[in-house]
Amino acid sequence: MENEAVAEILAEIGVLLEIKGENPFKIRAYVNAARAIENVIEPLEFIIRDNRLGEIKGLGSALQEKVTTLVTEGSLPYHEELKASLPAGLIDMLAIPGMGPKKVKAVYEQLKLETVEDLEAACQDGSLEKLSGFGAKTVQRVLEGIAFHRNFGDRHRLDVVYHLANEILEGLGRHPNVLRCDIAGSLRRWKETVGDLDFVVASRHGGPVLDWFVAQPNVISVLAKGDTKASVNLEGGIQADLRVVSDAEFPFALAYFTGSKEHNIGMRQRAIERGLRLNEYGLFRSKTETRDPELRVPCKTEFDIFQALDLQYIPPELREDRGEFEAAEKIALPSLVEWTNMKGSLHNHSDWSDGKQTLEEVAAAACGLGFSYWAITDHSKSSFVANGLDEKRLLKQFVAIEEVNQRYEEAGTRFRLLTGSEVDILSGGRLDFPDEFLAQLEIVVASIHQGFAGSEEEMTKRLIQAAENKYVHILGHITGRLLLERDSYKINQRAVIDACAATGTWIELNASPYRMDMDWRLWHYAKDKGVKCVINTDAHRFEHCSYLRLGVGVARKGWLTRHDVVNTLTLRQLRKALDWKRSKL
C-alpha cells in the first residue's frame, strides 16, 4: 500500500474516533501520524524493510505496528472494526457546518440518526430541536448547511476563486478604514483546491470594514458577524471570512490565518521553546500573556516573526509542516520558481484538434503575454472525440506552423511556435505514432486518455513504457485526475517517477486548474531523484494561458526552483535540452 493511502486510513481512524468521543489527544496522535506519513518522501515499504519506521516523528510503538500491518497486509483489522461499528453516513454528517463530533454523536446515540437524510428529516419533524444542546437556530443552520452542501461541494478550483478573491482584496484595499490587507488561508498557500477565502485587514475602525464586507453584492448569506470577524457565503457556494486586527497585530494575524494548522502548531511550539507565546495578535515575551502590546516582540512583517523564531522566511506555499522548519533552520529553503521565470508552455492545443483558436491566434496570444515559445501539441489520431491528428494532418500542421514562425521572424520577433503532439499512450502501452514519426516532432508529450480501468500494475507499466521511449520528452498529466470530479486511475506514481529519472524523461505539472497533475506532494520525491518538471497550460483556448500562473503557484508548493522547471529555459537552451534524451538513449 502506498504512503498516501496509509495516511488516508490513519486520518479516517481519527475521524471515527472523534465521533466515538475518544480522548482528543489520541485522536490527534492519529491525525499527526497521518500527516507525518504524508510527508515521508520515501516509500514506506522500504522504510519498514530497513526497520526505520521509528525514525518518523509521531509514530510510537502502537502506530508503527498498525502502519506495518497496513503496508504489508493492505488493510488493518482495527480500522475495519471501527468502520463496522459506526454507520458510514456519520462521516458525511460531520461535513455539515455546525455539526461537530459531539453533535453527531448526540444525534446518533439519542435519535438513532445514521445519515444526512435522517438528520434532515429530524430537523423537519421537530425531533432535533427537542434534543438537549440543540435549538431552533441550530436546526435552521443545519438545514441550510445540508442544502448548501447538496448544491455546492465544499472545495473549489483555483480558477474559480483566484479572481473572486483578488476582486474582494482590491475592494478592501480601497476602503478608507483599511491600512493593510491580504489574502490568507489555503489560497495564499496555493493549495490545488480551496475550501474558503480568508482575508485579513489592519484597521483602527473595523466596524465599517466588516459592514462593507457583509454588504458585498455577491454575498448570499451572513454566517457570523462580530466586532472583529465576519463570515459570509458568496454566490457559487464559496465561504469567505474576514478578520480585522490592529496594524501592529497584522503580520501575526496574517501568518496565523495563512496556516496551515500544522505549520502554526510548529510555530507556536518554537515560540514556547524560546519562552515566548505566539497567537494571532503577536509574539509575546511571556508564557501567559495573550494580548498586552507592551510585551509584544515588535514585528512589522512576517519576515520579522520568522527571524524572531530563528528561522529563514518561509514562503506561504511551503507552510505545510512538510520539512520547512528543518530547512529554514539551516537557511536551506529553496529559492522558489517565479511566475516571471516562465518562457512558454510545452503542451497546448489549437483548433486543429479540440482547441478553440487558430495557430495564428494562439501565437498572437502567447507572444502578446511575453512568452518566447509555445508548443502546439494537438491530440493524436486515437483521440477521435478530440479530433486527433493522424500523420498526414500533422505533417500539414508543420507547414502551417512554419508559416506562422516565418511571419514572426520577418517581423524581427523572437517568438516561435514549436511542433509537437500530445500522443496517446494506448492500452497496451504502445504509442499512437511510430518512433520514426515521433522523431520528426520537436516536442512529444505522452498521455493516457483511454483505458482508465486497468490495474495499478498495467497503468504504471503503460506510463513507464512511454517514458522508456527515447522520443518522448514529457509524460502528461500522469494520474488523469480531474479535481473535485474524477479520481486518478490506479497508478504507482513513485515507480513512474523512478522510470523518468532513469530515462531522463520530464514530468508535466499540468496547470489546468481541473488537474494540477502531478500532485505537488510528489514533486519533492521527483526532485530528489533528479526528475525535471514542465509546467504546462494544456490550453484549449487563449484564456487558458493564464493557467501558467496558477501552475507556478502549485509548483512553488512542490518546493521547485527555476532550475527544476524546464520551461524557464530560453528557446536556445530548451532546444538543447530537448535533444539530450534522443542523443543519449
Partner DNA sequence: GCCGTTTTCGGCCCGACTGTTTTCAGTCG
How far is 231 from 98, CA to CA, in rounded Å? 13
CB environment 445-463: b (16+ within 10 A), e (fewer): bbbbbeeeebeeebbbbbb
Per CB under 7 A, 233 contacts DNA: no
For residue 99, the one-letter residue type is: M
Residue carrying C-alpha cell 514529457: 474
Going by the DSSP 8-state scheme, the letter that residue 246 receives in this structure is -
Q: Are strands 238-245 and 277-279 parallel, antiparallel or unpaired?
A: unpaired
Residue 335 touches DNA, criterion: CB under 7 A: no
Among 49, 50, 52, 102, binds DNA (CB under 7 A): 102
Determine the interface stretch with DNA among 28-36, 82-90, 423-431, 436-444 (rule: CB under 7 A).
Answer: 28-36
Binding status of residue 294 toward DNA by CB under 7 A: no
Mark residues 513-552: x for contact with DNA by CB under 7 A, - for none: ----------------------------------------
33 part of the interface to DNA, by CB under 7 A: yes
**Alpha helices, H only, 478-522:** 493-503
- Binder of DNA out of 68, 127, 216, 279 (CB under 7 A): 279
Query: Should residue 28 be labelled a site residue for DNA when binding is judged by CB under 7 A?
Result: yes
Q: Which is nearer to DNA, 242 or 516 (CB)?
A: 242
Q: Which of 2, 68, 82, 98 binds DNA (CB under 7 A)?
A: 98
Interatomic CA distance for residues 502 and 581, integer angstroms: 11
Output the smallest distance, CB 44 to DNA, in A.
15
The interface with DNA within residues 181-200 (CB under 7 A) comprises 185, 195-196, 198
Could you tell me which stretch among 265-273, 463-471, 493-501, 513-521 binds DNA (CB under 7 A)?
Answer: 265-273
Taking CB under 7 A as the criterion, the residue among 88, 147, 220, 272 binding DNA is: 272
Minimum Å gap between C-beta 148 and DNA is 12
Nearest in space to 231 (alpha carbons), one of 280, 255, 189, 196: 196
Give the interface size with DNA as a residue count (CB under 7 A).
Answer: 58
End-to-end CA distance of the chain: 32
Could you give the angle at the alpha carbon of 332 between the alpha carbons of 331 and 336, nearest 5°? 115
Nearest-approach distance from CB 249 to DNA, in angstroms: 10
Q: Does 308 bind DNA (CB under 7 A)?
A: no
Question: Residue 101, interface with DNA (CB under 7 A)?
Answer: yes
C-alpha 119/C-alpha 99 separation (Å) is: 10
Q: Yes or no: say if 229 and 270 are a contact pair by the CB < 8 Å rule.
A: no
Q: Is the dihedral of CA 450, 452, 455, 457 positive or negative?
A: positive
Q: Could you give the count of Cα atoms lying within 13 Å of 129 in the half-sphere of its Cβ?
A: 12
**Cα distances (Å, whole numbers) of residue 536 to 252, 415, 584:** 35, 17, 25
- Is there binding between residue 269 and DNA (CB under 7 A)? yes
The answer to the question of residue 201 lying near DNA (CB under 7 A) is: no
Which part of the chain contacts DNA (CB under 7 A), choosing from 101-109, 352-360, 481-489, 528-536? 101-109
Q: Is 246 in the site for DNA (CB under 7 A)?
A: no
Q: How far is the CB of 59 from DNA (least distance, A)?
A: 6
Asked if residue 370 binds DNA (CB under 7 A), the reply is no
**Beta carbons within 8 Å of 428's beta carbon, 6+ residues apart:** 462
Residues that bind DNA (CB under 7 A): 23, 25-26, 28-30, 32-33, 57-64, 96-104, 132-139, 141, 185, 195-196, 198, 224-229, 239, 241, 257, 261, 264-265, 268-269, 272, 277, 279-281, 290
